[in-house]
């Protein structure tokens, strides 16, 4: 099953105030359209995302979508309906089974809602999220005083439609084509479900979400900032902090340098080991594996396997970091202690910190490297080898 999402953001959004089209305004430091794109790209059932934008907004969009893997932009038409039609036509060659059509001004679309809409398409040609109308409905008089009530309408059986609206691709494409051929078509339909309905397609309503608001007025943006703050707190409460520790020792052997955190340090001996004997990186690997219950470095890279002979320990560290990433984790900080009488670590500390930061894609401020001696006591004191200890702290989504 392939499902492509069309994110429609070709409007001017003049009601939102300020000069910028509303989909390019930011909430919590990220533009609204970027939040939409990220929500769909994160969903496992979404194959691709097709943005439909206004021709004046190319630069704004390029900035907003920086680093995101979306389909080439499609330019919108004069109306929402024609913009969606352009998007549908542009993805025809990809032959999707399903298409979801989403307003770029609804940044709070949830993964649950995307799943519900896609799931319903197994049984119906169309599916939209909707909320029952709970307020009493009034219609106003026409003429001079439009604030005067004409009558009270029944709210029975009335729903408010949201997006993403999902359809079987062939059905909605035919419906759009049919509507596009009608005279005066382009302003008639304010959503895609109404186009499907007008062609006799069954469209089912799944649970909408009050938080999935369409940002329209300045007041909506104020509400959105509050909502964003609440969601951030909720997201944070759904994560836990994990800690892991690592310890490693390598003995000295004849040589002229040691490798610590990937940095060559001149010394009158080297470290013996199956790989490059980077004792510091090995301790860091075990600390990272420890955070996720991932065993130890020896389990992943057995020292009796010839293929790991002489290999740069960066390979091991990248593996450990990838395992953390695969578990949904992010590294909060790493704290490393190197224990030896010599070589002096201080002059190389910054280079080691920089090397780790580059390998792990971390800010150097999250990596601390300490060194100590054991007052000439024990094997490190007798300069028989180097020991290293590491502690890693990561943030991980709470498990089931
Ligand atoms: Mg080792």
Q: Are residues 246 and 102 in the same domain?
A: no
pTM surpassing 0.75?
no
Please check whether residues 61 and 176 belong to one and the same domain.
Answer: yes
Residues 230 and 94 in one domain: yes
Residue 17 has pLDDT above 60, yes or no: no
CATH of the domain at 31: 3.90.550.10
Q: Are residues 215 and 255 in the same domain?
A: no
Mean pLDDT of 327-347: 96
Distance 263 CA to ligand 1 centre (A): 16
Q: Which domain holds residue 269?
A: 240-397
Q: How far is the CA of 196 from the centre of ligand 1 (A)?
A: 64
Rounded average pLDDT over 268-291 = 96
Q: Could you say which of 179, 213, 237 is where a domain stops?
A: 237
Torsion-angle region of residue 104: left (phi > 0), alpha (psi -120 to 50) or beta? alpha
- The Å distance, Cα 242 to ligand 1 centre, comes to 23
Residue 18 Rama label (left phi>0; alpha psi -120 to 50; beta): left
Which of 185, 202, 237 is a domain's end point?
237
Q: How remote is the CA of residue 240 from the centroid of ligand 1, in Å?
A: 29
Do 276 and 327 sit in the same domain of this protein?
Answer: yes
Instruction: Tell me the CA–centroid distance for residue 325 and ligand 1, in Å.
Output: 23
Convert 171-192 into a string of H (helix), E (strand) and C (coil): HHHHHHHHHHCCCCHHHCCCCH
Q: What spacing in Å lies between the alpha carbon of 249 and ligand 1's midpoint?
A: 6
Q: How distant, in Å, are the alpha carbons of 40, 239, 334 from that of 399?
A: 22, 9, 23
Ligand 1: centre distance to CA 278 (Å): 7
| Domain co-membership, 152 together with 141 | yes
Mean residue pLDDT across the chain: 93
Q: Which of 192, 212, 237 is the last residue of a domain?
A: 237
Number of domains into which the chain is organized: 2
CA of 19 to the centre of ligand 1 (A): 59
Predicted confidence band of residue 211 (pLDDT cuts 50, 70, 90): very high
289 and 216 within one domain: no
Residues 189 and 58 in one domain: yes
Q: Do 229 and 356 belong to one domain?
A: no
Report the sign of the C-alpha dihedral through residues 185, 186, 188, 192, in that order. positive
What are the residues facing 336 on neighbouring strands? 369, 390
Q: Residue 16 pLDDT more than 70?
A: no
Residue 363 CA to ligand 1 center (angstroms) comes to 25
Distance 271 CA to ligand 1 centre (A): 10
Q: Cα(260) to centroid of ligand 1, in Å?
A: 11
């Amino acid at each position: 099953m392939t499902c492509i999402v069309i994110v429609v953001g070709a409007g001017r959004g003049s009601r939102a105030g300020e000069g910028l089209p509303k989909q390019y305004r930011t909430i919590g430091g990220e533009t609204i359209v970027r939040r939409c794109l990220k929500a769909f790209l994160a969903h496992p059932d979404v194959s691709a995302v097709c943005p439909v934008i206004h021709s004046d907004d190319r630069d704004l969009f390029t900035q907003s979508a920086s680093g995101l893997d979306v389909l080439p932009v499609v330019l919108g038409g004069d109306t929402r309906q024609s913009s969606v039609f352009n998007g549908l036509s542009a993805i025809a060659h990809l032959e999707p089974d399903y298409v979801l059509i989403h307003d770029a001004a609804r940044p709070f679309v949830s993964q649950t809602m995307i799943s519900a809409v896609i799931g319903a398409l197994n049984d119906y040609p169309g599916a939209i999220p909707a909320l029952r109308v709970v307020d009493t409905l009034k219609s106003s008089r026409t003429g001079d005083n439009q604030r005067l009530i004409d009558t009270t309408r029944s709210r029975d059986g009335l729903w408010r439609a949201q997006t993403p609206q999902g359809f079987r691709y062939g059905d909605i494409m035919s419906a759009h084509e049919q509507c596009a051929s009608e005279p005066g078509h382009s302003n008639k339909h304010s959503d895609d479900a109404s186009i499907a309905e007008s062609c006799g397609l069954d469209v089912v309503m799944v649970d909408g979400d009050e938080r999935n608001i369409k940002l329209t007025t300045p007041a909506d943006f104020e509400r959105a900032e509050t909502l964003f703050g609440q969601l951030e707190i909720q997201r944070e409460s759904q994560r836990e902090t994990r800690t892991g520790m690592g310890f490693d020792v390598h003995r000295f052997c004849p040589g002229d340098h040691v490798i610590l955190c990937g940095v060559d340090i001149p010394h009158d001996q080297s470290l013996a080991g199956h790989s490059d004997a980077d004792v510091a990186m090995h301790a860091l690997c075990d600390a990272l594996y420890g955070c996720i219950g991932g065993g130890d470095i020896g389990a992943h890279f057995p020292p009796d396997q010839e293929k790991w002979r002489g290999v740069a320990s960066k390979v091991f560290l990248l593996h450990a970091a990838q395992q953390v990433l695969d578990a949904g984790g992010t590294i909060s900080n790493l704290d490393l202690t190197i224990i030896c009488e010599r070589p002096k670590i201080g002059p190389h500390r910054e280079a080691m910190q920089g090397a780790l930061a580059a390998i792990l894609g971390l800010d150097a401020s999250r990596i601390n490297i300490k060194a100590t001696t054991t007052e000439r006591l024990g094997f490190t004191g007798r300069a028989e080898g180097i020991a290293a200890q590491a502690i890693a702290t990561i943030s991980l989504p709470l498990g089931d």
